């Protein structure tokens, strides 16, 4: 880690604060002095950069890395503007950085927002991290100009050295003391022209690849302290259930078990801010003893208010809502009813996506130590700031007195946007008086999640006599993602499940969007690319159905709907615009690379889909084969992506591959079902992830762009399922409208191939 002195300096020339509007503001303050050097002679320039005497440049990575590669890509932004060779850079994970506000009560960010979610890390860092590197470079140039009595405008930098026009050079380590003592300039340092980039845009391997593959990388599950107790928790399996009776006498007799204690859960209907469920915690010397102690517990659970909930009951509720109710009108352009009445062709279909678990390969875990006026938290988090808030709520200790450290995260996908597992560790440490490591099992993780909502889509489209689409209706029934959130009003629950400017909004003259809230006790939350994963499946599958009814080519039909390149208003996350030209661009690339329009032979088919997700444009194209028995084989998988200016093309490629495989795994196999008010699935035997042997090679094509970069962590998911199912339809005649696919093809082909599977 960076030296304590360097990282806690209150006189760094770069500090981060939040404006009243919530935006990130770069403010230059006081310069560093010689006192800010560490004992090894290294000098900190700002809060992100430290230069060692041997020329090694330590750059702090502020955001959690859960495989999306930001521990590499974000420091690349700083290194580019600092103008050092990437080979001289050493990246170090920063802890949570909070500082007191200067002019108002409360705290603000020291390093800038340190969350990871919504594919925001890159776009939120594009400006301020480049500026941090440029400011440090400017100070080094000024220091050299003073030493040489030269005009700093005539000096240049390259590979960690300042260069004079006469050929003299000064390496950065020779300038750091003087640079750190300089007052900041009155104006922000100029940024490089993109033509000068030597790091940004260069394929770069992740900085800790060697540590990951050799097992030296520290994940949360690896955190261990000899004086800590290990805790496992028996949580009530029923939604909002509780404890009727408990007998812990046998558990206390297990060798190594030290304490058994009850953890209260949230009251039914109350906002969920800390732990998810009522539970009984067993604290022991090691994990084995804790697990054996939990096995020995005798707990009778109450079933709670949702004991009658089941997947079948939810299906009946959906049917009733669509048949008898009018939903909340989210968008109503033109006159849909009149257009439908006077149309020549009407197409309708319904699509279904189930509850989905996150199932990260690293189950939830957290270490916490609560002392008199200090809290230490070490955990795999996507929102470490939320972890600090939870710890403060439990202990009453000021967040400025907390040491919150992020480990590498073994998969997040939105699950670790919440910090219930951190709250458990903090609460148990406070109650027990010991440092505590909470460890979940796979079954714990499967039963207690913030599941992706179950959604039913009902769509209708109408075309005129010329085959032009004139009307579109999309009715969405969902168990709202915004579940038991104190910050979301009841009238705004739809906002997590419907994005009103998504395709084909503004492209069809008469368009209606309706939302229906489904009553369910299932805990819900964000799952990789949230509502886009379900909505894109329905919309992009239905586009193919409409094209088929109008006897039009699916790719040509999409491009015709998009029309001429133009920018449309987009109000949801990822906006403020949706560029039809960029969307058409990735569709064309995917189509070209898959060989769209060619004859592929009997039993084979091509499918395509495109979608706009959080500022990025992605299209997938598949070539599949379905044999007479319904066995599916994926022969080719092509992904085209436009996420603006690529920072690390290798990272983008990896994200598209991972997202595609995740999307395939989910579309083919994964479903969480409910019976008697509890989740039925337990482990990977009944929640089977895609096996390597069945995973296709993913051909990724990155579209060159000079647009401001967007993230890439979620863009590979939404178009995977619809492109796959469109290819299945082309190959077999079977239209899959309900996910997961699983054995639907075999059932259909075993009888007869029919639409509407």
Do 249 and 128 lie in one domain? The reply is: no
Q: How many Å apart are CA 306 and CA 657, to the nearest integer? A: 39
At 234, list the tokens. 């028996």
Q: How many Å apart are CA 654 and CA 203, to the nearest integer? A: 11
Residue whose C-alpha is closest to residue 387's, from 526, 220, 217, 525: 220
For residues 727 and 653, the answer to whether their CB atoms sit within 8 Å is: no
Residue 310 lies in a domain: no
From 439, 465, 500, give the residue that closes a domain. Answer: 439
pLDDT of residue 270: 92
Residue 212 lies in a domain: no
Do 160 and 186 lie in one domain? The reply is: yes
Residue 60 has pLDDT above 70, yes or no: yes
Residue 106 lies in a domain: yes
Q: How many Å apart are CA 148 and CA 178, to the nearest integer? A: 13
For residues 343 and 464, the answer to whether their CB atoms sit within 8 Å is: yes
For residues 294 and 230, the answer to whether their CB atoms sit within 8 Å is: no
Do 459 and 573 lie in one domain? The reply is: yes
Query: For residue 25, what is the enclosing H or E element?
Result: strand 24-28
Whether the pTM exceeds 0.85: the reply is yes
Do 585 and 567 lie in one domain? The reply is: yes
For residues 233 and 280, the answer to whether their CB atoms sit within 8 Å is: yes
Residue 11 has pLDDT above 70, yes or no: no
From 413, 439, 465, give the residue that closes a domain. Answer: 439
Residue 16 has pLDDT above 90, yes or no: no
Strands 699-702 and 632-642: parallel
Residue whose C-alpha is closest to residue 526's, from 430, 403, 606, 614: 614
Q: Which of 526-530, 705-709, 752-756 has the lowest mean pLDDT?
A: 752-756
Do 434 and 522 lie in one domain? The reply is: no
Count of structural domains within the chain? 3
Residue 665 has pLDDT above 60, yes or no: yes
Do 461 and 502 lie in one domain? The reply is: yes
Residue 106 burial (CB count, 10 A): 9
For residues 219 and 378, the answer to whether their CB atoms sit within 8 Å is: no
For residues 347 and 341, the answer to whether their CB atoms sit within 8 Å is: no
Burial of residue 581 (CB within 10 Å: 0-12, 13-18, 19+) is middle
The sign one gets for the Cα dihedral 574, 579, 582, 587 is positive
Do 193 and 243 lie in one domain? The reply is: no
For residues 223 and 287, the answer to whether their CB atoms sit within 8 Å is: no
pLDDT of residue 747: 87
Residue 757 lies in a domain: no
- Predicted confidence (pLDDT) per residue in 540-570, tens digit: 999 999 999 999 999 999 999 999 999 999 9
Residue 342 burial (CB count, 10 A): 13
Q: What is the CATH number of the domain that holds 239?
A: 3.30.365.10
> Hey, is 329 helix, strand or coil?
strand
Do 514 and 434 lie in one domain? The reply is: no
Residue 281 lies in a domain: yes
At 399, list the tokens. 């967040």
Q: What percent of the chain has pLDDT over 90?
A: 91
Contacts of 74 (CB under 8 A, 6+ apart): 61, 62, 63, 121, 122, 125, 129
Query: For residue 298, what is the enclosing H or E element?
Result: strand 298-302
pLDDT of residue 504: 98
Q: What percent of the chain has pLDDT over 70?
A: 94
Q: How many Å apart are CA 198 and CA 106, to the nearest integer? A: 40
CA distances from 345 to 348, 556, 616 (A): 10, 19, 33
Query: For residue 346, what is the enclosing H or E element?
Result: strand 345-353
DSSP codes, 223-261: ---TTPEEEEEEE-SSTT-EEEEEE-HHHHTSTTEEEEE
Indicate the pLDDT class of residue 184, thresholds 50, 70 and 90.
confident
For residues 413 and 402, the answer to whether their CB atoms sit within 8 Å is: no
Question: Strand (E) positions, 497-558?
Answer: 510-517
Do 383 and 478 lie in one domain? The reply is: no
At 694, list the tokens. 């069945």
From 143, 171, 205, give the residue that closes a domain. Answer: 205
Residue 520 lies in a domain: yes
Residue 602 has pLDDT above 70, yes or no: yes
Q: How many helices (H) and strands (E) does the chain have?
A: 18, 33
For residues 184 and 14, the answer to whether their CB atoms sit within 8 Å is: no
Do 418 and 330 lie in one domain? The reply is: no
- Predicted confidence (pLDDT) per residue in 230-287, tens digit: 999 999 999 999 999 999 999 999 999 999 999 999 999 899 999 999 999 999 999 9
- Average pLDDT over the chain, rounded to an integer: 93
Is the omega angle on the peptide bond into residue 270 within 30 degrees of 0, that is, cis? Answer: no
Q: How many Å apart are CA 642 and CA 653, to the nearest integer? A: 11
* Residue whose structure tokens are 């006790």: 521
Do 103 and 235 lie in one domain? The reply is: no
* Residue whose structure tokens are 């419907």: 498
CA distances from 553 to 507, 535, 581, 728 (A): 18, 22, 19, 16
At 464, list the tokens. 């005129």
DSSP codes, 548-576: HHTT--HHHHHHHHH-S--EEE--STT-S
Query: For residue 738, what is the enclosing H or E element?
Result: none
At 575, list the tokens. 């906006």
Q: How many Å apart are CA 308 and CA 311, to the nearest integer? A: 10
Strands 156-158 and 161-163: antiparallel
For residues 608 and 621, the answer to whether their CB atoms sit within 8 Å is: yes
Burial of residue 196 (CB within 10 Å: 0-12, 13-18, 19+) is exposed
Q: How many Å apart are CA 450 and CA 358, to the nearest integer? A: 8
pLDDT of residue 8: 28
Q: How many Å apart are CA 252 and CA 490, to the nearest integer? A: 45
Strands 89-93 and 98-100: unpaired
Residue 316 lies in a domain: no
Residue 538 lies in a domain: yes
Strands 161-163 and 169-171: antiparallel
pLDDT of residue 152: 95
Strands 89-93 and 57-61: parallel
pLDDT top residue among 105 and 545:
545
Residue-number span of the structural domain to which 379 is assigned: 220-305+364-439
Burial of residue 24 (CB within 10 Å: 0-12, 13-18, 19+) is middle
Query: Residue 339 CA to chain centroid, in angstroms?
Result: 39
Q: Which of 197-206, 561-570, 662-671, 748-757 has the lowest mean pLDDT?
A: 748-757
On the CB side of 594, CA atoms within 13 Å amount to 33
Do 282 and 404 lie in one domain? The reply is: yes
pLDDT top residue among 537 and 24:
537
At 710, list the tokens. 């967007």
Residue 403 has pLDDT above 50, yes or no: yes
Residue 283 burial (CB count, 10 A): 27
DSSP codes, 100-137: E-SSSSSEEESSS-----TT-HHHHHHHHHHHHHHHHH
- Predicted confidence (pLDDT) per residue in 195-225, tens digit: 999 999 999 999 999 999 999 999 999 999 9
Query: Residue 41 CA to chain centroid, in angstroms?
Result: 39
> Hey, is 369 helix, strand or coil?
strand
Residue 82 burial (CB count, 10 A): 27
For residues 627 and 604, the answer to whether their CB atoms sit within 8 Å is: no
Indicate the pLDDT class of residue 14, thresholds 50, 70 and 90.
very low
């Amino acid at each position: 880690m960076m030296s304590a002195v360097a990282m806690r300096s209150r006189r760094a020339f770069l500090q981060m604060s939040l404006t009243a509007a919530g935006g990130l503001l770069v403010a230059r303050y006081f310069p560093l002095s010689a006192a800010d050097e560490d004992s090894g002679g290294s000098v900190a320039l700002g809060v992100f950069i430290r230069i060692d005497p041997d020329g090694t440049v330590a750059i702090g990575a502020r955001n959690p890395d859960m495989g999306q590669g930001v521990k590499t890509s974000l420091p690349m932004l700083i290194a580019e503007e600092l103008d050092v060779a990437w080979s001289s850079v050493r990246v170090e994970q920063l802890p949570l950085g909070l500082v007191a506000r200067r002019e108002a009560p409360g705290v603000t960010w020291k390093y800038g927002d340190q969350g990871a979610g919504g594919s925001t890390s890159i776009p939120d860092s594009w400006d301020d991290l480049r500026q941090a590197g440029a400011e440090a470079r400017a100070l080094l140039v000024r220091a050299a100009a003073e030493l040489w009595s030269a005009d700093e405008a005539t000096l240049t930098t390259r590979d960690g050295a300042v260069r004079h026009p006469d050929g003299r050079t000064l390496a950065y380590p020779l300038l750091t003391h003087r640079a750190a003592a300089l007052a900041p300039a009155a104006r922000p340092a100029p940024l490089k022209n993109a033509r000068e980039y030597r790091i940004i845009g260069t394929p770069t391997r992740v900085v800790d690849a060697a540590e990951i593959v050799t097992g030296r990388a520290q994940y949360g599950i690896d955190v261990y302290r000899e004086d800590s107790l290990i805790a496992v928790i028996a949580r009530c399996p029923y939604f909002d259930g509780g404890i009727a009776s408990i007998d812990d006498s046998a558990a206390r007799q297990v060798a190594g078990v030290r304490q058994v204690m009850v953890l209260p859960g949230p009251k039914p209907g109350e906002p969920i801010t800390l732990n998810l469920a009522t539970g009984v915690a067993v604290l022991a010397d090691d994990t084995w003893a804790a697990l054996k102690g939990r096995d020995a517990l005798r707990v009778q659970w109450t079933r709670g208010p949702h004991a009658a909930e089941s997947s079948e009951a939810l299906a009946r509720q959906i049917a009733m809502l669509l048949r008898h109710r009018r939903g909340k009108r989210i968008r109503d352009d033109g006159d849909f009813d009149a257009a439908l009445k006077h149309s020549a062709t009407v197409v309708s279909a319904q699509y279904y996506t189930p509850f989905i678990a996150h199932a990260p390969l690293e189950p939830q875990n957290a270490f916490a130590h609560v002392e008199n006026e200090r809290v230490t938290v070490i955990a795999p988090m996507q929102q470490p700031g939320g972890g600090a808030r939870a710890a403060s709520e439990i202990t009453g200790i000021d967040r400025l007195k907390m040491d919150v450290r992020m480990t590498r995260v073994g998969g997040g996908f939105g699950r670790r946007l919440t910090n219930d597992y951190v709250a458990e560790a903090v609460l148990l440490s406070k109650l027990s008086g010991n440092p505590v490591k909470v460890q979940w099992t796979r079954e714990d993780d499967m039963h207690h999640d913030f599941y992706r909502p179950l959604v039913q889509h009902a769509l209708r489209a109408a075309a005129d006599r010329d085959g032009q689409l004139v009307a579109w209706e999309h009715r969405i029934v969902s168990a709202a993602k915004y579940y038991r959130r104190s910050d979301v009003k009841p009238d705004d629950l739809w906002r997590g499940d419907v994005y009103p400017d998504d395709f084909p909004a503004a492209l069809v003259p008469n368009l209606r969007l309706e939302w229906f809230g489904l009553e369910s006790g299932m805990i819900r939350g964000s799952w990789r690319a949230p509502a886009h994963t379900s909505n894109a499946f329905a919309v992009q599958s239905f586009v193919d159905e409409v094209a088929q009814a109008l006897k039009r080519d699916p790719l040509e039909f999409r491009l015709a709907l998009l029309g001429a390149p133009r920018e449309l208003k987009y109000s949801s996350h990822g906006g403020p615009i949706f560029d039809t030209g960029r969307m058409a661009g990735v569709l064309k690339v995917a189509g070209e690379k898959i060989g769209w329009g060619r004859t592929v032979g009997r039993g084979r088919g091509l499918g395509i889909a495109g979608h706009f997700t959080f500022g990025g444009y992605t299209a997938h194209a598949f070539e599949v084969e379905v044999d007479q028995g319904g066995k599916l084989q994926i022969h080719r998988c092509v992904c085209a992506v436009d996420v603006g200016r690529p920072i690390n093309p290798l990272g983008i490629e990896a994200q598209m591959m991972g997202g595609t495989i995740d999307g395939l795994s989910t579309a083919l196999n994964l479903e969480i079902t409910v019976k008697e008010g509890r989740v039925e699935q337990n482990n990977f035997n009944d929640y089977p992830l895609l096996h390597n042997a069945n995973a296709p090679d993913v051909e990724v094509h990155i579209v060159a762009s000079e647009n401001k970069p967007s993230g890439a962590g979620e863009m590979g998911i939404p178009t995977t399922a619809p492109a796959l199912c469109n290819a299945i339809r082309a190959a077999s005649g079977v239209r899959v409208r309900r996910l997961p696919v699983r054995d639907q093809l075999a059932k259909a082909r075993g009888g007869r191939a029919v639409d509407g599977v």
